[in-house]
Amino acid sequence: MKRAIWVIVAAVGVCAAFPRDASSSTIPAFDSLPQGHVGRIPQKKPPFIAAGERTAGIVAAAPPKDALGQGPAWVTVFATEEKARQFRKTGAAEEPGTEVCFTTEDRVQVFPRDNGLPVEWPSFFEAQPTMQGRQFSYGSMSGGVEAVHAEKLVRGAPGKATLEMTDAWVDPDTRGVRLIRSATLPLVRVATGPSGIEVYAGRDDEEAQFVVTAPKLPDGFPRESANFARQFTRMNASLDENRFATSDCDHVRIALRAAEEKGPVLSVVQTTAFLPSLDKGDDEGARDKKGFGGIQGFRAIQSVRKRAVNISLSATQTDGDKEPVLSVAVGWGGREARQ
C-alpha cells in the first residue's frame, strides 16, 4: 500500500503572514485522501449535435445576428441559461461570474490523436470560453463539435469540498450540447494562504489532484468590471514537459503523478495577494459610498497593495522511496507593489 508523506513549507518570514489553518495540522496520507474520478477527453467525437440537445450547466450561445459579421459561427459557453440569454440579446456578458471553470479540448498542448486513448483535460481554465463553428480553409475543415469540461468547487463542512464536473460535446453551429459524463471529486483542505487562497487535495487512482483557489479581491473592488478584476486574480502555473496551466476563474486544478523514472514532478502556481492599506486615507478617503467609482475610484485602485505569491506543488518517488512524497509550499514570489 502506497502512502504519501506531506510537507507544508513556508518561506522565511512568511509564517507570520500565512497562519497555518487548524484543519491542516494533521495531513492525511495519500491512501486516505478522498478519492474520485476526473474524466478524460474521448477521441471519437460525433459529427454533429442536434440543435435541441441540452445539458445542465453547459449552455452555448451566439451573439445577436448583427454582431456576427462574416465568417464562421462563434459561440460563447456559459454555466446558466440566464447569462446565455443576456448574451444572445446584447452580445455582451458584463458579469460572467467565475465560480464555474471551463476548459476545452483545443487547449490540449500535447494531444496523441493517433493512439485512440483518452487524454486528460488541460489545466487551462476560463470563465467564458469561445468556440468556432465549421470553416473550410486552406484545404481542410476546422472548427465544429468540441468537447467541453466544466467544474465547480462546492465547499461543505469546514476543510472539505467537492469538485462537481460535467463533460459534454458542444456543436457551435447548432448550439446543441450532449452530455458525455458527470463526476465528482471529494477534496480536503491541506493549506491556506493570504487573500483567502486555499489548497485542496484529493486523488484519482494513483494521481494526486490539487485545487488552488483564486485570491479574493479587496472589499469595495469594482467587481462590475469583471475583465479588469480577473487580471488581478489570474493564476498561472508551470507543468512538466514544457506545458503550462492558467485560470481566470475560481480555481486551477493541477494533476501530479509520481514516477520513479521521472524524478520530481513540480508545479508552481503564481498569483497575487492583496495587502491591507498602510494609509487609512487610501481606503476611506479615496473611496466613496459607491465603491471605486469615478476619479476617487481610480485613486483607490491605485492604492491597492499587492504582492506575488507562489504555491509550489510536487510529487516525488525515487528508487529509495517506498511511497510517493508530496509537498505543498506557500511563499512570497516578489516584493510588494501597487497598481
Per-domain residue ranges of the chain: 5-338
d(CA 279, CA 268): 32
Handedness of CA 274, 275, 281, 284 (dihedral sign): positive
Position with higher pLDDT, 231 vs 326: 326
Per-residue pLDDT, 35: 95
Question: Position of cell 460525433?
Answer: 46
How confident is residue 157, by pLDDT bands cut at 50, 70 and 90? very high
Nearest Cα to 229, choosing from 93, 48, 95? 95
Q: Which of 5-19, 182-196, 251-265 tops mean pLDDT?
A: 182-196
Q: How far is 153 from 196, CA to CA, in rounded Å? A: 14
- pLDDT (average), residues 47-72: 82
**In this model, does residue 120 exceed pLDDT 70?**
yes
User: Can you give the pTM of this predicted structure?
Assistant: 0.84
Residue 304 has pLDDT above 90, yes or no: no
Does residue 224 or residue 256 have the better pLDDT?
Answer: 256
Model pLDDT, residue 23: 34
Q: Is the pLDDT score of 288 beyond 70?
A: no
Looking at residue 299, its pLDDT comes to 56
Residue with cell 481566470: 248
Cα 59 to Cα 75: distance, rounded to the nearest angstrom: 10
